[in-house]
Structure 1
Amino acid sequence: MAFLRTLFWIVITVIVVVFSIRNWSAVTISLFGDLQADVKLPVLLLIMFLIGFVPTYAWHRAFRWRHARKLAMVDRVATPTVTTVVPATVPVTPPAQVPPQPAYLQDAPSPSPVTPDPFKAD
């Protein structure tokens, strides 16, 4: 895409240069009163182009800047802020003392889950 953009500007530059070379003649402009100015035609066209382009470009940039500021403000307002709530400290009580198991229960296997008897009728 950058190649096409570069090619476009090269074509525009060639057209402007060819136009300027072929029309490099003096144009007399009548200013106010008896005052007259001789200006080359390409220079006159460039000045007229800038008189039309610069105010429009300035308005466009101001418009974009203003809208960018409004969008930034809306984003700041719309973005939810995450607040962390610090829980109050609760005093921790030590666990109750569990009496030791008798010796005959320490080596006992853990009880297996109850399975239904397949031969027993409901």
Structure 2
Amino acid sequence: MQFLKTLLMVFAAGVAVAFAFNNWTSVDVRLWGGLLVDINLPLLMLLCFLTGLVPTWLWQRALRWRSQQRLATSERTLADLRAAVAATAAVPPSIDPDPTPAPVAPPLIDGSRP
């Protein structure tokens, strides 16, 4: 699988280099205030690509970090609860040395019990 991933990346890099080589022309970009910038087309395409990629990548990394923090907190809480349950299960129940007998219903008038 790693071979296919590497092959795909090499192919994508080759296509990008071929695009840059065939389209290395200057492009005029009009900015605010009448400012005119002369930039090569492949550099402009790379700049536009990174403008969309970087904020999305940072957002994804922040969400992943937050999820990992929440998962770690949940795992610590679960470990603490398991330890508490194990500690209470290890203690034997207390036995009353002098248990009082359960009350017995008195016999009825005819001598039978209810």
TM-score by length of 2: 0.70
Structure 2, unmatched stretches of 5+, are 92-114
* Alignment RMSD (CA, Å): 1.9
CA distance in 2, matches of 1:28, 1:5: 37
Q: 2:65 & 2:36 partners in 1: Cα distance? A: 41
* Superposed counterparts of 1:6-85, under 5 Å: 6-79=6-79, 80-81=82-83, 82-83=86-87
Distance 1:66 1:34 in 2: 43
Q: Aligned equivalents of 1:35 and 1:71: distance in 2?
A: 50
Distance 2:65 2:33 in 1: 43
Runs of 4+ residues over 2 Å off in structure 1: 82-86
CA deviation digits over 1:54-88, x for unaligned, max 9? 000000000010011101111111121254979xx
Matched residue pairs, number?
87
Q: Distance in 2 between matches of 1:65 and 1:83?
A: 33
**Greater percentage in helix:** 2
Larger Rg: 1
Q: What TM-score does the superposition give when structure 1 sets the normalisation length?
A: 0.66
Q: Distance in 2 between the 1:33 and 1:67 partners?
A: 44
Secondary structure at the aligned position of 2:61 is classed as helix
Unaligned runs of 5+ in 1: 87-122
